[in-house]
């Protein structure tokens, strides 16, 4: 009976270790505790007798991590609790368990490739980096709370300008795995502890380098920017009696006097309560509130025949007519559209934020919009900001990132802060400023090193004004993208496979003494 209970005990410990690792992410923000959790999880996975056991323990650890970090995923289902509330338990179970399958695959692959007990933890760690790439690129992608984000509130995050979030993940996971490898190595304890000290040096060096990078002067342009946060609660936002209330509030915030007045005013996602083709009166009111000289960017829906798009419109100075627009291309599955909509419609299911006929349609892809008198900008709507590739695949380098979002869907605890942290990392990766307008918060004007210059706290109706920071020269990550870290990941796993193959051949071919 005791033997039968050991797998469950190991799985339970792995679940707890994963939960501790999840505490590294905001709003908790405890990266050193995350390293401890990952180290404990790698110790458990490396101690498994076979790859199946390692996969099971890593799956349990992933489930624990995602349960801690993604519990807010139930919030959207309670916006309309009568229709969607029953789905919430299924959503949290399926999402956490489903994402943990990537961790299980990393455990199986790393354990199978490792030469011996001492090399299992680092090999599993590198395989987990590969799993992060899988979460980013496979299917529609969902790279939320990748391991590298545990450093988002620290100077270590500046390393993203070199290797992106996946480079940060590799640093994090290897920093947790190397001590495990050293403790499992057959060496003297003094040497183990000396090596353990050396294993912490990369994190320390990254922090020192990041602090120096953050201390560099910040260049500001002459463009004055205002972000508008109307704070429209999601369960009230589309009520007929509340639509004019929230729109009037946004107009009042837009008209707030300032000296000098803003040159660019940004409203959140779907903050204009009409589709683009019928928004003339709304645009006229916005122009009157903003004055004649400001560029206005605002979120709204666009319609072509029966197709709806989640869009941004740009109003040039001196006019209330749209100058340019952008259609969101990276849609939220089961939120903005329903995969296999005809099938689900038989059961009366539709997307949480969907319109008719299966929801929104995707736009053509990353697109640069021109802000007259300011320069080119790359729009990102909602969770497009969590995808590094949605930024580096832009057809040209912009002068700034425009992030319009409605984080009212994410509740008021973890989700909005995680979204902000991941958006800030896009600024660091590219060396570009970001203007972020969020319906309920957190709205912010962010510098090219990810630092928030000004912002509006979560749950407040207000504006924030600041000069637009100047862009930095293209960072190494902006130039080389994910290729170097992905290639290094494959190289390390390939070397592990080669070492295992050589080891097997050496065992199979004993020396013959003559």
The chain-wide mean pLDDT, for the chain, equals 93
Q: Which pLDDT score, from 0 to 100, does residue 192 have?
A: 66
Mean of pLDDT values over 307-326: 96
Which residues face 404 on adjacent strands?
381, 437
In a domain, 381, yes or no: yes
Q: Which residues are catalytic?
A: 269, 328, 382
Q: State whether 193 and 229 are in the same domain.
A: no
pLDDT band for 116, please (50, 70, 90 cuts): confident
Q: Which pLDDT score, from 0 to 100, does residue 189 have?
A: 67
pLDDT band for 343, please (50, 70, 90 cuts): low
Q: Residue 211 to residues 25, 148, 316: CA-CA distances in angstroms?
A: 20, 17, 39
Inter-axis angle of helices 189-199 and 160-184, nearest 10: 170
In a domain, 493, yes or no: yes
Q: Which pLDDT score, from 0 to 100, does residue 199 have?
A: 76
Mean of pLDDT values over 341-359: 61
Instruction: Please determine, for residue 399, whether its predicted confidence score (pLDDT) is greater than 50.
Output: yes
End-to-end CA distance of the chain: 51
pLDDT digits (tens, 9 = 90+) for 437-484: 999 999 999 999 999 999 999 999 999 999 999 999 999 999 999 999
Instruction: Please determine, for residue 216, whether its predicted confidence score (pLDDT) is greater than 60.
Output: yes
The predicted model scores a pTM of: 0.94
Instruction: Please determine, for residue 511, whether its predicted confidence score (pLDDT) is greater than 70.
Output: no
349 vs 197 pLDDT, higher one:
197
492 vs 337 pLDDT, higher one:
492
209 vs 115 pLDDT, higher one:
209
- Residue 453 belongs to a domain with what CATH number? 3.60.110.10
Q: State whether 209 and 229 are in the same domain.
A: no
Residues 6 or more apart whose Cβ sits within 8 Å of residue 408: 232, 233, 234, 237, 439, 440
Q: State whether 245 and 295 are in the same domain.
A: yes
Q: Residue 279 to residues 40, 229, 262, 316: CA-CA distances in angstroms?
A: 56, 20, 23, 15
- The structural domain count of the chain equals 2
Q: State whether 382 and 299 are in the same domain.
A: yes
pLDDT digits (tens, 9 = 90+) for 19-59: 999 999 999 999 999 999 999 999 999 999 999 999 999 99
Q: Which residue has the tokens 């801690």?
A: 68
In a domain, 354, yes or no: no
Q: Which pLDDT score, from 0 to 100, does residue 83 have?
A: 82
pLDDT band for 4, please (50, 70, 90 cuts): very low
Helix or strand run (H / E) with residue 397: none
pLDDT band for 334, please (50, 70, 90 cuts): confident
What whole-number distance in Å separates Cα of residue 335 and Cα of residue 42?
Answer: 34
What whole-number distance in Å separates Cα of residue 76 and Cα of residue 409?
Answer: 5
What whole-number distance in Å separates Cα of residue 125 and Cα of residue 41?
Answer: 10
pLDDT band for 346, please (50, 70, 90 cuts): low
193 vs 48 pLDDT, higher one:
48
Supply the range of the domain harboring residue 503. 7-214+482-508
Output the CA torsion sign for 502, 507, 509, 514.
positive
Percent of the chain at pLDDT exceeding 90: 82
Q: Which residue has the tokens 């040209």?
A: 396
Which residues face 225 on adjacent strands?
264, 466
Q: State whether 32 and 174 are in the same domain.
A: yes
Residues 6 or more apart whose Cβ sits within 8 Å of residue 281: none
Q: State whether 113 and 207 are in the same domain.
A: yes
CB 311 within 8 A of CB 300: yes
β-pairing verdict for 295-304 and 375-381: unpaired
Q: State whether 180 and 113 are in the same domain.
A: yes
Q: Cα torsion at 180, 184, 186, 188 (round to 10°)?
A: 60
Q: State whether 206 and 122 are in the same domain.
A: yes
Instruction: Please determine, for residue 8, whether its predicted confidence score (pLDDT) is greater than 70.
Output: yes
Phi-psi region of 351 (alpha: psi -120 to 50; beta: other; left: phi over 0): beta
Q: State whether 266 and 200 are in the same domain.
A: no
In a domain, 353, yes or no: no
Instruction: Please determine, for residue 219, whether its predicted confidence score (pLDDT) is greater than 80.
Output: yes
pLDDT digits (tens, 9 = 90+) for 137-184: 999 999 999 999 999 999 999 999 999 999 999 999 999 999 899 888
In a domain, 352, yes or no: no
Counting Cα atoms < 13 Å in the Cβ hemisphere of 186 gives 2
In a domain, 200, yes or no: yes
CB 109 within 8 A of CB 493: yes
Instruction: Please determine, for residue 325, whether its predicted confidence score (pLDDT) is greater than 60.
Output: yes
In a domain, 475, yes or no: no
Instruction: Please determine, for residue 185, whether its predicted confidence score (pLDDT) is greater than 70.
Output: yes
Q: State whether 110 and 226 are in the same domain.
A: no
In a domain, 201, yes or no: yes
Q: Which pLDDT score, from 0 to 100, does residue 3 have?
A: 40
Q: State whether 229 and 109 are in the same domain.
A: no
Q: State whether 247 and 206 are in the same domain.
A: no
Mean of pLDDT values over 395-412: 97
């Amino acid at each position: 009976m005791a033997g039968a209970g050991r797998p469950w005990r190991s799985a339970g410990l792995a679940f707890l270790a994963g939960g501790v690792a999840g505490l590294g992410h905001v709003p908790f923000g405890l990266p050193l505790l995350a390293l401890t959790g990952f180290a404990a999880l790698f110790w458990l996975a490396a101690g498994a007798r076979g790859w199946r056991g390692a996969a099971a323990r890593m799956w349990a650890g992933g489930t624990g991590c995602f349960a801690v970090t993604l519990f807010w995923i139930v919030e959207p289902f309670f916006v309309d609790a009568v229709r969607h509330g029953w789905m919430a338990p299924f959503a949290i179970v399926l999402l956490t368990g489903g994402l943990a399958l990537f961790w299980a695959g990393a455990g199986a692959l790393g354990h199978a490739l490792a030469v011996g007990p001492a090399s299992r933890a680092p090999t599993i760690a590198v395989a987990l980096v590969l799993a992060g790439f899988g979460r980013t690129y496979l299917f529609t992608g969902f790279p939320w709370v990748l391991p590298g984000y545990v450093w988002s509130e620290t100077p270590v995050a500046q390393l993203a300008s070199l290797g992106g979030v996946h480079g940060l993940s590799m640093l994090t996971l290897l920093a947790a795995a190397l001590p495990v490898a050293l403790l499992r190595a057959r060496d003297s304890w003094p040497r183990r502890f000396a090596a353990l000290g050396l294993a912490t040096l990369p994190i320390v060096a990254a922090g020192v380098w990041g602090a120096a990078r953050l201390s560099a002067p910040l260049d500001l342009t002459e463009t004055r920017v205002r972000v508008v946060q109307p704070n429209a609660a999601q369960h009230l936002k589309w009520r007929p009696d509340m639509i004019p209330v929230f729109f009037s509030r946004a107009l009042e915030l837009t008209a707030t006097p300032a000296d000098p007045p803003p040159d660019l005013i940004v409203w959140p996602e779907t903050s204009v309560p009409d589709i683009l083709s019928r928004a003339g009166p709304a645009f006229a009111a916005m122009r009157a509130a903003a004055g004649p000289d400001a560029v206005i960017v605002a979120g709204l829906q666009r319609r072509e025949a029966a197709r709806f798009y989640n869009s941004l419109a740009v109003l040039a100075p001196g006019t209330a007519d749209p100058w340019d627009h952008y259609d969101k291309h990276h849609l939220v599955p089961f939120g903005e559209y329903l995969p296999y909509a005809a099938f689900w419609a038989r059961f009366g299911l539709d997307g949480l934020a969907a319109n008719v006929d299966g929801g929104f349609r995707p736009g053509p892809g990353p697109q640069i919009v021109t802000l007259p008198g300011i320069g080119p900008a790359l729009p990102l709507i909602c969770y497009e900001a969590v995808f590094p590739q949605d930024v580096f695949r832009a057809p040209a380098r912009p002068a700034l990132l425009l992030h319009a979002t409605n984080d009212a869907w994410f509740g008021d605890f973890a989700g909005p802060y995680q979204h902000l942290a991941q958006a800030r990392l896009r600024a660091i990766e590219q060396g570009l400023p970001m203007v972020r307008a969020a319906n309920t918060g957190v709205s912010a004007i962010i510098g090219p090193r990810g630092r928030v210059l000004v912002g509006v706290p979560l749950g407040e109706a207000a504006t924030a004004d600041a000069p637009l920071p100047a862009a930095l020269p293209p960072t190494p990550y902006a130039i080389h993208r994910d290729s170097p870290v992905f290639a290094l990941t494959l190289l390390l796993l390939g070397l592990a496979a080669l070492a295992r193959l050589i080891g097997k051949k050496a065992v199979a071919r004993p020396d013959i003494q003559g």
